[in-house]
Amino acid sequence: MRLKGSYTVEAALIMSILIPLLAAVIYLGFYVHNKAVLQEAACRIVSAGSLNQTEGKGLQVMEEIKQDVLGSRLIGMPEVRGEVSEGSTLNASFSGSFYIPGLVMRFFCGNRMEITVNKSMKNIQPVKTLQIIRSIEKLLDR
């Protein structure tokens, strides 16, 4: 019984499934990484903006963090848009599209998966809040 080449045929059939599956897992990891980086940046932006409101440079700090995020740390997303705003609430939002090559992804989502992250936080100005709390404590101690 001669079975020459049967392992080659079986390996070719299995690899035609495993290699695209492995590539999909890698691209999914890139997508999750980018979403986590943008979510972390949005949270960091609004908290830094809240902490720096008393010096009057909250928006400046928020813009610096935004430029830091847009300049690096993202994989496969060259076009990311970010917006920050301040007022009674601090807002940070990022949006961009992550490119995934392949015929199957072109069929399902046009080779692009959108990532949109929004974070809002009430502008609490913790320094002023602490000053008010300490002045109330002094009044109660008398």
- How far is CA 12 from each of CA 3, 131, 133, rounded to the nearest angstrom? 16, 71, 71
Number of other CB atoms surrounding residue 112 within 10 Å: 13
pLDDT tier at 135 (50, 70, 90 boundaries)? very high
pLDDT tier at 129 (50, 70, 90 boundaries)? confident
Looking at per-residue pLDDT, the higher value among 127 and 29 belongs to 29
pLDDT of residue 1: 57
pLDDT of residue 59: 76
pTM value > 0.85: no
Looking at per-residue pLDDT, the higher value among 52 and 96 belongs to 96
